[in-house]
Structure formats: C-alpha cells, structure tokens
Homo-oligomer: A and B are copies of this chain.
C-alpha cells in the first residue's frame, strides 16, 4: 500500500490581494516541502480570496488570477519545490466543452467565470477542476457568479489516484459518487465553508459519510478568517476510507497539517474518452506512478481540541472583528460605552481582537444617565486597559431643542443621534472604525435608533440574541478565571436590568417582552423562517407571537425605509448582506 504524505494549508487569504495571497501559498508550500509532503492542498479560491461576489465578472481580474496560477507554477520550480504536487483554488474562465454542455435553461454570467482548482507540479498546470455544485442559498450566490463545471478530475500522485472536489460538491450527491466510480484512493476537498453557530459536528459526519460512500480517504481543507460578512472557522479534517478521523486542524487559527496516509495503489485503467459518471466527464492525469511502501510509523499529529458552543461563538466574533478591521486598513476602533452589557461585551471583544491600546471608548452621559452606568464603563476600562473618554451630551441636546422642540420618541432618538455624531467626528479626526453595539433581539424588533446607536462600520454582536449576550459575557469571565486572569466584564453590567436610559426610569421591559420569551419567538420567526401561525402551533401564546411579529415586521419596514442599520442575519456569524425574510405580507391570525 503506497504511503502519501499530505499537507493541508488552513489559510486566511484577503479578497482581491492576489499577490499577497500567492506569496502566502508559496510560503506554506515551502513549509510543506520541508516537512516531506508529496501533495499540498489549499482552501477554495485561495489566490483571489473568497467570496469575490461580482468581481468574478471583471475580465482583468480573471486574467490576474489565471496569471497567478501560471506564475505560481514557475515560482515553485524556482524555489526548488517543483516536485511538490500543489492543488490550489482560484478564479478561472469556463472551458469551451463545459459551455457547450450547459442546459438550455441556464444563463451564463459575464466572462464565464469558474470556481476552480488547478493541479500544479513540475512548473506546469497539469489538470484543472471546476466546481460543479454552485450553492445559491443563505450567504452563497455562486450560481449567480460562476459557470458550473462538468468534469471529474483524477490525478495519479505517487501511485495513488486522487480525485478533487470543491466545498458544496460534497454536500450534494454527485462528485463523491463519481470519485467512487473512478476508484480514487483519496478525495481532496477545497473549502470556503463559513462558521455557523450550533452546526454541531456536521462537517465531520459528512466527511465520514462521503469517505465510506466513495470507499476512499477524504481530506477536507477549509479557509480560516473573517472576510466581509463571513467568518471561516478552519477545522480542516482528514478521515480514512472507513470514515475514521485521522487528523484535524484547530478552529479559528491558521495551521499547516501534515499527515501520512496509507492508500490503495491505483489500478483503474485510463478511461475511454467520453466516459461519464453521474453526468460528469472523467479526466485522468498521471503525475507520478512510483511509490514507496511504508517503512516507519506514519506521521499522525494529534487532532486539535474544539471549543465548546459558547467559546466557538466568542472566538468567531473576535476573529471576525480582527480581520474586518485589518483587511479594511484600520488599526483602531471606537465605541460608545454606556455601561450596559451590550457595549461592555463589545469592549471586551475588541480588546481581545486588537489589544487594549487599539480600543477607544466614549461615555456620553445625558441628563438621564445613571451613576452606575458611568461607573460600570469605568470599571471595564480599568479591567481591560482600553482608553475611555467622556463627552457629555446635555448641553448639545439643549441647543438642538432650542430650535426643534422635539418630544416623545423623537426626543429620545435625538440623544442617540447626538452620540453618533460625536463618535463619527472622533472617527474622522483620528481614523478609528466605529463599532455598533446592538444585539440581535434589539435589531430584529427595531429597539434601536437609526443613525443613532445603529451607527458603525461593523456590529460585532449583531448576531447574538440578548440571552446569548449574557451567556457569552459569563463565559468570557469564566474563561479568564480558568486562566487565572481578571474577568474583563464587571459583574454589575451582567446582573443589572437592561435600559436604554433615554428617559427617566426607562427599562427595556417597558417596550419588549421578557428576553427569554422574545428570543424564543425570534428563533422561530426569524431564524427558522416559520409563519406566524406555525410559531403559534409550537405552543407560544398567540398574543405574544402577534406582538413580536408586529415588532419584527415594523422594524423590517424601518430598515427598508432607512437602509443604514446593521442587518440582521440568520445563522451565519459575522456580517450578512441579506435581510431577514421580507415581511411585506402579513398573515391573518
């Protein structure tokens, strides 16, 4: 049985930075080669970054990506890495044969872009696979941006047949079955698979199932890092043909995993031209047939430990914020610190992501701010080392009111907007990125001020319902205690009753149902997309459901009228372009 030494590069590319991404691939390939690897695999679209959205259509960008693949082949040889077999993800343009086979009913995006993986070795591109299944749901728009491939690529490396798939290809039926039929010994899968909360261990289960179905080992290489609206969590996996876990990379960290696999020698003959499995043409390329039998213990690094549910969410938010700041050319952030739990948690997250020297808080007390609010913000600053400034708003508020004479909600919102003007002024003057501190329960119900507390370039906890804001705050403090550190979050910020403090004695519970109930209904109506009648059928009080649904629908209208606020996503962490379901239509209850 031939032994293959496989290197999986769990990398963090930057969308659009083709040169820097290529440099990073070469660096990882160098390390893999030094570790004696034969086969080196990157994440999906590592050369361009992912997701590239409508940049896929730009001819000059496609050309830059193609040129980067060719340059990579040459550079690997120049650096003495020419014998390494590299499978690299990139943007390309569809093959003529693929275009000729497209069903009549499918449109073709401009310049025929493809989501591709090239096999590069010996200074040449020896094979290219184009992703078949283009996901078009949730955060994915790939069917819009790419032409689907219609070939299966099998490459013989050191006497082992290696098949290739990209991400969604193994979530749908098709290519892994084709890999099986093509009798491959190993299926390598390049991924840009974003983190989802409470996904359980779906990926490992899927990899194990596909390995057993295909009767071949499977190596799943994922991207890591925050990119725009998404956070990729890494967690790359290798399983054997029985579906048993062989290796696993960490979550939310860059890592190179090198592992030995003993795999069946290739025996399948070259297929007849035009052979098809599951509707896909099979292409076969021989890179190297020589192989050595194992003589020593195989290299088997210990699988990485995984975070628990709360830890996973917290790390996803920290990484998403850090990369958003860095990839957009910022260094420092600024946020309003009210002493409430939302902005307090955001302050702690920002310090974890960027270091205390890069985090700036502002307290903006009004006539109705309570003493403990200022005290709690100050306590957070003392514990974490972030810089806290104080700009009271009462005088500015009075000057506005001399002209405007607003009352009620308009008067409440005025205070929130004055604060936002101050944050943005400091942002423009000093170059800080403003963070919005709203949580998902608030944003979904519209319990926030457009152009007020909703202001900011990034909203770290916008995917956390209020009940999870409390849970992650407690988790963060407990994690500090485990490590013998000072818990960053003042206990009073966690335990006090939530209030917007925009009028005397105001409490969230004046306007909203208790958060435990609210979050449960939001989970059904927003996350799980149920209709109101279906939510009631789950056993919730009809009056409560009617109240929450009305709040969400009105908030949705408000967001539409005033696009600004951070958008509420469903399950995906990080940022999300898509609004929750458009609630223009009201069911009669």
30 A-B pairs with C-beta separation under 8 A: A14-B584, A15-B585, A16-B585, A17-B585, A53-B582, A54-B579, A55-B581, A55-B585, A57-B581, A59-B534, A103-B103, A104-B172, A104-B174, A105-B132, A107-B135, A107-B143, A109-B137, A137-B144, A328-B560, A391-B404, A396-B396, A400-B422, A404-B426, A409-B428, A410-B425, A418-B421, A420-B451, A421-B421, A455-B564, A563-B564
Determine if A275 is an interface residue (Cβ-Cβ < 8 Å): no
Indicate if A557 sits at the interface (CB-CB under 8 A).
Answer: yes
A273: chain B residues at CB < 8 Å are none
Interface residues of A, dominant DSSP: loop
Interface residues, chain A, CB within 8 Å of chain B? Answer: 14-18, 48-49, 52-55, 57-61, 64, 103-107, 109-110, 132-137, 141, 143-144, 148, 150, 172-174, 228, 278-279, 328-330, 391-392, 395-396, 399-400, 402-404, 406-410, 413-414, 417-418, 420-422, 424-426, 428-429, 433-434, 450-451, 455-458, 529, 531-534, 557, 560-564, 566-567, 578-579, 581-587
Q: Cα distance A433–B418 when bound, in Å?
A: 20
- Least CB separation from A59: chain B residue: B531
Q: What residues on B are CB-neighbors of A409 within 8 Å?
A: 428
Among B172, B417, B532, point to the contact of A424 (Cβ < 8 A): B417
Contacts of A531 in B (CB 8 A): 58-61
Q: B404 contacts A582, CB within 8 Å? A: no
A251, B434: Cα distance in complex, Å: 45
A61 — which chain B residues lie within 8 A by C-beta?
531, 585
A107 touches B561 (CB 8 A): no
Complex interface: chain B residues within 8 A of A584 (CB):
14-17, 49, 52, 55
Chain B hits for A104, CB < 8 A? 172-174, 278-279
What residues on B are CB-neighbors of A567 within 8 Å? Answer: 563
Identity of the chain B residue whose Cβ is nearest the Cβ of A562 in the assembled complex: B457
Residues from chain B with Cβ under 8 Å of A406 in the complex? 425, 428-429
Further pairs besides A16-B584, A104-B172: 11, Cβ < 8 Å: A15-B585, A48-B585, A55-B581, A59-B531, A105-B279, A107-B172, A144-B144, A392-B403, A404-B426, A421-B451, A457-B562
| A401 to B, closest residue via Cβ | B425
Q: Of all chain B residues, which has the CB nearest A561?
A: B457
A500: shortest Cβ distance to chain B, in Å?
Answer: 15
A542–B560 alpha-carbon span in the complex (Å): 40
Residues from chain B with Cβ under 8 Å of A328 in the complex: 557, 560-561
Lowest 6 CB-CB distances: which A-B pairs, in order?
A: A16-B584, A60-B531, A16-B585, A564-B564, A410-B428, A457-B561
Whether A425 contacts B399 by the Cβ 8 Å rule is no
Stoichiometry (number of copies): 2
Contact B421 A403, beta carbon cutoff 8 Å: no
The residue of chain B having its C-beta at the shortest distance from the C-beta of A531 within the complex is B60
Contact with A143, one of B143, B278, B413 (Cβ below 8 angstroms): B143
Closest to A395 in B: B399
| Alpha-carbon distance between A105 and B150 when the two chains are bound, in angstroms | 9
Q: Which residues of B contact A564 (CB under 8 A)?
A: 451, 455, 563-564
Contacts of A402 in B (CB 8 A): 395
Question: Contact between A58 and B144 (Cβ–Cβ < 8 Å)?
Answer: no
CA gap between A24 and B560 in the complex, in Å? 25
Closest to A403 in B: B391
For the complex, what is the distance from the CA of A413 to the CA of B106, rounded to whole Å? 47
Q: For residue A562, which residues in chain B have a CB less than 8 angstroms away from its CB?
A: 434, 456-457
Contact with A60, one of B403, B458, B566, B587 (Cβ below 8 angstroms): B587
Q: How far is the CB of A350 from chain B (nearest CB, A)?
A: 15
Q: Check B109–A133 contact: CB distance below 8 A.
A: no
- Give the complex CA separation of A421 and B424 in angstroms: 13
Kindly provide the distance from the CB of A577 to the nearest chain B CB, expressed in whole angstroms: 8
Q: A64-B587, A107-B136, A141-B144 are in contact. Are A55 and B417 (CB under 8 A)?
A: no
Distance, CA A564 to CA B557, complexed state (A) = 15
A61, A104, A409, A534 pick with most chain B CB within 10 angstroms: A104
A149–B387 CA distance with the chains assembled, in angstroms = 60
Nearest residue (CB) in B for A458 is: B561
Which residues on B sit within 8 Å (CB–CB) of A278? 104
- Interchain CA distance A400-B104 in the complex, whole Å: 62
In the complex, what residues of B have CB within 8 A of residue A150's CB?
105
Of A18, A141, A582, A585, most B-chain CB atoms within 10 Å: A585
In the assembled complex, the Cα of A49 lies from the Cα of B585 at a distance in Å of 10
Question: Which of B64, B174, B414, B557 contacts A421, CB < 8 Å?
Answer: B414
Contact B148 A133 (CB under 8 A): no
Residues of B within 8 A of A49 (CB): 584
Shortest A321–chain B CB gap in Å is 13
A399: contacting residue among B57, B106, B399, CB under 8 A: B399
B-side contacts of A53, CB under 8 Å:
582
CB of A422 within 8 A of CB of B404, answer: yes
Task: Determine the distance from Cα of A587 to Cα of B64 in the docked complex, in whole angstroms.
Answer: 9
Which residues of chain B have C-beta atoms less than 8 A from A578's C-beta?
54
Task: Give the distance in Å from the alpha carbon of A525 to the alpha carbon of B528 in the complex.
Answer: 40
Task: Report chain B residues within 8 Å CB of A173.
Answer: 104
